[in-house]
Structure formats: structure tokens, C-alpha cells
Amino acid sequence: MQSPQRNFCDKIVSAESVSRSMRRLGAYVGATYTAFMQWPTPTGRIIIAGGSGFLGRSLAHRLCDAGCDVVILSRHVPAVDGPWTWRQWDARTLRSWVDELDGATGLVNLAGRSVDCIKSPEHCDTILRSRVESTRVLGQAIRRVAVPPPVWVQMSTAHIYGDPPVVVCDEDSAIGYGLAPTVGMAWEEAFAHAVLPAMRSVILRTSFVIGRGGGALQRLSKLVRFGLGGTVGTGRQGISWIHQLDMNRLFERAMTDTAMSGTYIATAPQPVSNREFMQELRRAMRMPIGLPALEWMVRLGAPLVLRTDPELALYGRYCVSKRLAEEGFTFEFSTLQSALAELFGAH
């Protein structure tokens, strides 16, 4: 006969074994469920309005590789050749490009003048009008075709929250104050009036997209190579960012996941300060030094040398997406270090 003490120990061991087995089963079920719930790959003809820039070309390449028929609408031919179809589009008037929307499986609107410029009255007006007018004319176009796209994915800006120094913003946060929030609200209002009631609509309030082939990271990396990639201003301003691969994956999910609707912040889950961003960028580029830029230097040098707005560097925001987290979107690059390591080959 076994002693009561040994029976008690056997029960503990048995309980622990059952617990381990249950944990393994739970992990397996969770992984299987996640794999099962992955969204399908887009198919058919996808229209990318304003798609000749960095983001549009990146998305077009990915969709073409997946077998989609991609049509880019833009004023000018894309700077590089690709497997897409290009149609000239002034983002203001209805022309023959409208026919491309008939029977398309998705519409992505990226149109808008770059904000990387000096904020003169003329440039501010163009920044606003280029977004609102392009969205309006797309709304007119989809009302002229027999079979409009079932989904419209609309670009917006995470700068709509303004430049709060320390507050972490999510989709429920208040709209900020200034040019960018004003433009963002007008942009989204135009979209609300343009989209058809029967269409599924997704707004992506996009943060700083880091990737190859263009964008603001290209300019920052040049500064780092010249030893000028130090802290800007106080260095405390927030930088919300997303890797271009995750941005493309988010576009894909928005087009194919029928449960996805409404407004999302397109940003990685770990925003950083300017100081940390520049440190990680120097590390990824193997540059040991980076001279800091005081505020007065930036205010003087940005418009004179770089021909851009100094406030783009001096201010920022910390954003996270509560909705993407709740809906199970997983990032390939959730940390800045991993994202920059992939882009610059640092290990």
C-alpha cells in the first residue's frame, strides 16, 4: 500500500502534466485559429488613385506579384516602370479613366500633395485641395459605372491628432489643432460624402512609413551618412512609424477582410521619441556619431537648405492603434530596431 504522502505527490505530478498538456493544446489551437483567420489575398483589378509615389508603387508591386491587375491613376507616369497599367488622371475631372472603376474589386486612394515642403499659403492650399478634390471626383466616378468596387480604402493622416507632446493617441482621441488636423478632417469629410452607402469603407490614418525607394527615411538616412543624424530639437517629440511591408499588409487586409470597416491608425505598436529614433537609425546604418540640431538651427536650415517645413522635425506625436490590436492584426515589424535592421541589413 502506498503512503498518503506519495499519493499526494503523484496527484501533483499528474495535475502538472495535465496543465502542461492543456497549455500546449491552447497554444496549438491559438496558432491554428490565427492562421485560419488570416485574410485572403486580393484578386481582380485594383485601382490605386494617386499611386505614382513611394507608397503607391510599393503597394502596386506587391499586388501585381500576387496576381492582381493593378491600375495606377496619377498626373504623371510613375518614376519607375512596373507591371501595372497607368492612366493619366488630374484628380479633378471625369475622363476616360472612370471606366477602369467598372467591375474593379477594390479602390485605394492615396492622392494628395506631399507635406514635405515649405508651408507657404499656396502650398497649404494645394495640400488641402489635392486631397479633397481627388476624393470628390472619385465619388462622382463610382456613381457613373455599372459595377462600382465593393470596397474603398482611403488614406488619411495620423497628424490629424495634432502635436501633443506626451499624450498617446488612439482612434478615440480628440482631433488636434493646426493645418494637418484641418486638412485631415476635410479629407475624411469629403470621403464620407463620396463613398457609396453599399461600399465597405476603411480609413487608414497613416503614420511615418519607413521603407525602401522613397519617403522621408531617404532624406533622414542622407543626413546620418553625413554625420548629421543626431537629436532634433528637444528629442522628446514622438515619432509614430510603420514599416512599408506592414503598411502593404494593412492595405491588403482592408481590401479583403469584410469585418474591417471604419477608421484605423496605421502605425506600429511601439512609437518612439525623436532621440530614440535617431539613435536606432545611426545604429542600423553603423554611424557612430550624429551631431544634434538645435531648434534654431532647424528653423533656419530646414527652409533654406532642405526646402521643407521645420515643424515636421520639431514636433510629433505618439500614436497607437487600439482597433488593430483588438482585431488581431499582427505586425511583422513591431519594434523600430527590427524594422530598421531589415531595411539597412543590420543584424
What is the count of structural domains for the chain?
1
- Sorting pLDDT into bands at 50, 70 and 90, what band is 32? very low
**What is the per-residue pLDDT for 189?**
98
pLDDT > 50? residue 347: no
pLDDT > 80? residue 80: yes
Please give the residue that has the higher pLDDT: either 37 or 190: 190
**What is the per-residue pLDDT for 296?**
97
- Sorting pLDDT into bands at 50, 70 and 90, what band is 11? very low
- Sorting pLDDT into bands at 50, 70 and 90, what band is 29? very low
215 lies in a domain? no
Q: Which residues contact 276 (CB under 8 A, 6 or more apart)?
A: 336
Q: What is the mean pLDDT of the chain?
A: 91
36 lies in a domain? no
- Sorting pLDDT into bands at 50, 70 and 90, what band is 3? low
Characterise 114 by phi-psi region: left (phi > 0), alpha (psi -120 to 50), beta (else).
beta
21 lies in a domain? no
pLDDT > 50? residue 19: no
**What is the per-residue pLDDT for 93?**
97
Read off the C-alpha cell for 165. Answer: 507632446
Characterise 62 by phi-psi region: left (phi > 0), alpha (psi -120 to 50), beta (else).
alpha
pLDDT > 80? residue 8: no
**What is the per-residue pLDDT for 254?**
98
**What is the per-residue pLDDT for 22?**
47
Q: Is residue 69 classed as helix, strand or coil in its secondary structure?
A: strand
Beta bridge partners of 209: 242
The most confident of the ranges 31-35, 77-81, 107-111 is: 107-111
Q: What is the pLDDT of residues 216-265, one digit of tens each?
A: 999 999 999 999 999 999 999 999 999 999 999 999 999 999 999 999 99
Q: What is the pLDDT of residues 129-163, one digit of tens each?
A: 999 999 999 999 999 999 999 999 999 999 999 99
How large is the angle between the packed helices 336-344 and 274-284, nearest 10 degrees? 30
136 lies in a domain? yes
130 lies in a domain? yes
- Sorting pLDDT into bands at 50, 70 and 90, what band is 214? confident
- Find, among 280, 233, 128, the residue nearest to 189 by Cα: 128
Beta bridge partners of 153: 108, 202
DSSP state of 233: T
pLDDT > 80? residue 74: yes
289 lies in a domain? no
Domain span at residue 99 reads 45-210+241-268+319-331
* CATH number, position 55: 3.40.50.720
Q: What is the mean pLDDT of residues 11-16?
A: 45
Q: What is the pLDDT of residues 254-295, one digit of tens each?
A: 999 999 999 999 999 999 999 999 999 999 999 999 999 999
339 lies in a domain? no
Contact status, residue 255 vs residue 39, Cβ threshold 8 Å: no
198 lies in a domain? yes
Cα 220 from Cα 228, distance rounded (Å): 9
The percent of residues in the chain predicted with pLDDT above 90, rounded, is: 86
